[in-house]
Amino acid sequence: MRHRVVHVVVAGEIGGAERMLAELASRPDESGADHTIALFTPDAKLRDFFTSYGIKIIARNGVRESIVTTLQHAFGHEDLNWLCAVLKSEQATIVQLHTFGSQVLGARAAIKQRLPFVRTEHSTRVYRDISCIPFSRWSLARAAAVVAVGDYIAGVVRPHLRHNQRMFVVRNGVDTNRFSPVANYAQGHAFRFLLAGRLEHRKGVDIALRAVAQAPTITLDIAGDGEDRAKLEQLAKRLGVSDRVRFLGYLADVRAAIGDVDAMLSSSRTEGLPVGLIEAMACERPVLAPPVGGIPEVVINDQTGWLTDNLSVEAIATKMQQVAANREKCRELGKSARQWAVANASIEAMRAGYGAVYSAIDSERRTPRM
């Protein structure tokens, strides 16, 4: 049976979950399913992003981003009826949920249409944020299957599952043909790191800026946008590092920015399995990061990059300077990072993994209950 999967996405930005979904849904034959995205977003960039991959998008008009509208999406009748109509018109056989905002609404629509739904767990936020936990648990208990994007997330999710509830681990993958080796940053320049991500508290950009202030030979590019951008630019000025830090803003294609640096940096306070770091590794850029969340699954110390002792400013600054002192070692680890990404985080393996999830759901539905 060839499945018709409708992905429900309620989001206001392009992040790792959205990039992973674009790679999954853009190659239907490799996942054994046809894909449509039912999209709730006020962000035209996100709509254009999915469309650029050739994915069918059905977008809800008039969406706004606020706590009130999130509750309306989850518990109101208008969005529920709209989504049920999408599932019916697309002849959906499986519904897949990717974001917290989609979990209640998507579950309600799937249940109303008598369809199984899959939850993909991209982070651990809904298991730690008390404002999310009651709603997330209600949805989780009714999922036909749960997919964790890495072992760390799987470990957090597993205690919350029902007895015998199906769980799969399907690691995020990247297109290692598209994200391929790029020329090394010119030796004559100061050692440069790239930090890419949403400019918000959990990404720890403030920690990175303070580390740069303690590492006078280091320069840093920051790719991304968000509500904290103005505050972070002011912090860079106060720390006296504005001449060594470039805020690049949102980049639709981050490959050129990766090509301009020697290594990737993460200073996140929390992470699931970061797609952006794997993309950099596929481009032969090693990663410097703290041992937070799922990061140690991809950043293997002295093989694909460097793990700091902890998340402190001092630990990151010290490791930055050690890394910058040996460019040859950096290039060696970049090649090793590329090899790891190809062997362990290919887009083909990810698509095949979701194909296996869809088949398992279909098999379970067809198995007679004793």
User: Bigger pLDDT: 242 or 27?
Assistant: 242
Q: Read off the amino acid at residue 140.
A: L
pLDDT at 64: 73
Which one-letter DSSP state was computed for residue 174?
B
Terminal C-alpha separation, the chain: 24
Give the rounded distance of the alpha carbon of 136 from its chain centre: 18
User: Bigger pLDDT: 184 or 287?
Assistant: 287
Compute the distance between CA of residue 166 and CA of residue 186 in angstroms, rounded to an integer. 49
Q: How many CB atoms sit inside 10 A of residue 130's CB?
A: 6
CB 125 within 8 A of CB 102: no
CB 220 within 8 A of CB 196: no
CB 121 within 8 A of CB 293: no
pLDDT in tens, 325-345: 999 999 999 999 999 999 999
Q: Which residue has 């760390």 as its token pair?
A: 152
Using DSSP, how many helices (H) and how many strands (E) does the chain show?
A: 16, 13
Name the pLDDT band for 72 (thresholds 50, 70, 90): confident
CB 132 within 8 A of CB 67: no
Q: Enumerate domains of the chain plus CATH numbers.
A: 3-173+346-366 (3.40.50.2000), 191-344 (3.40.50.2000)
Residue in 96, 81, 140 with CA at minimum distance from that of residue 8:
96
* Residue 366 reports pLDDT greater than 60: no
pLDDT in tens, 35-62: 999 999 988 889 999 999 999 999 998 7
